Homo-oligomer: A and B are copies of this chain.
Amino acid sequence: MKIVVTGGAGFIGSNLTDALLAAGHDVTVLDNFCTGQRRFLEQAAAQPSFRLVELDLLRDDRLVDTIDGAEVVVHLAANADVRFGWDHPGRDVEQNLLVTHRILEACRTTGVGQLLFSSTGSVYGETDVIPTPEDCPFPVQTSLYGASKAAAEGFAQAYAEGTDLRVTIFRFVSIMGPRYTHGHVIDFVRKLRRDHGRLDILGDGTQRKSYLDVSDCVAAVMSRIGQPDRGAVFNLGTPEYCTVTDSATWICGRLGVEPQFVYSGGDRGWIGDNPFIFLDTAKITGTGWQPRFSIREAVERTVDYLLANEWLLELEP
């Protein structure tokens, strides 16, 4: 199939691109290389069925022409940083909502068959229902990031209702694994390389989080391509959670260091941090998908990857 992957030079996008090419699809990656990495596409670029278009999804007039002719669009491009929303209060609106709306319009006007969209468990805010199913009580948004993704989901669903576009929405937990570039694991690894003896941790370390390996994430996304979803929502995660201290301990173990953990305190790492994320994944596992990696394995694979790719640790955090 002819498939467009937005954000295809990013962590998840480049893994998906490689998997789609391996499965025999034609893949066009759209990326502005704001956080994407050209090195992540080296393997893909060697394939004749791969095409790269460098553009700004928010403003570039070539968007419609670029999408025209695709059967499927996987829209992964986003501002994925939930922590620094208040430094740039318009960024989530622009990068996550307005860009998604431009993609939806481009899909509608060119007759793309299916859009698959990466949303987030952050749309559940601080729900009381844990593990959280897709149809948990109407949540209250607690971050600009979560609000922007929830907003984009809603527009995507309205397009699925009002046009011929089929829409599949995934609510990801945090994703780990090869090509990971952003989040607490890389932050901790960077800190521990500077100082083996001390690790500063935001919050009190008891925040409970869920992670999923990128290969499992990619397999789930691929399993829905071609399905007749009309705005269907699937949580993606593992059937478990860990604490921030668990994760820090695994990371230190993999690095062979034994620092003192110094907690900033409080049950939240930052404004809008959710102290307990654990998604109910019965709906996606009911389709036959299962994660292959545990949370611990996903975290450890991430550390191994970073150690084998030190150039990533040198990037601007």
Whether the Cβ atoms of A157 and B141 lie closer than 8 Å is yes
Within 8 A of B (CB), among A147-181: 147-148, 150-155, 157-158, 161-163
| Best-buried of A134, A140, A148 by chain B (most CB within 10 Å) | A140
| B85–A93 touching, CB < 8 Å | no
Closest to A144 in B: B158
In the complex the two chains form, is B136's CB within 8 Å of A147's CB? Answer: no
A137 / chain B contacts, CB cutoff of 8 Å: 135-138
Interface string of A51-93 (1 = CB under 8 A from B): 0000000000000000000000000000000000110011001
Q: Identify which of B101, B147, B153, B161 contacts A271 (C-beta below 8 A).
A: B161
Please tell me if the beta carbons of B151 and A155 are within 8 angstroms of each other in the complex: yes
Query: Any chain B CB within 8 A of the CB of A238?
Result: no
B-binding residues in A (CB < 8 A): 85-86, 89-90, 93, 97-98, 101, 104-105, 108, 125, 134-144, 146-148, 150-155, 157-158, 161-163, 231, 233, 271-272
Would you call A143 and B155 a contact (CB within 8 A)? no
Do A161 and B141 touch (CB < 8 A)?
yes
Chain B residues whose C-beta falls within 8 Å of the C-beta of A86 in the assembled complex = 162-163
Residues of B within 8 A of A231 (CB): 140-141
- Say yes or no: A93 contacts B89, CB within 8 Å: no
Residue of B nearest to A163 (CB): B86
Bound complex: CA A153 to CA B146 (Å): 12
Contacting residues, chain B, for A150 (C-beta < 8 A): 150-151, 154
| 6 new A-B contacts at CB < 8 Å, known A89-B104, A125-B157 | A90-B101, A93-B97, A138-B139, A140-B161, A142-B162, A162-B271
One of B101, B125, B155 near A141 (C-beta < 8 A): B155
Contact, CB under 8 Å: A93 / B155: yes
- Give the CA-CA distance A152 to B150 in the complex, in Å: 10
Say yes or no: A151-B97 contact (C-beta < 8 A), given A140-B231, A144-B162.
Answer: yes
Q: Give the residue name and chain of the B residue nearest to A86 (CB).
A: B162
Chain B residues whose C-beta falls within 8 Å of the C-beta of A162 in the assembled complex: 85-86, 142-144, 271-272
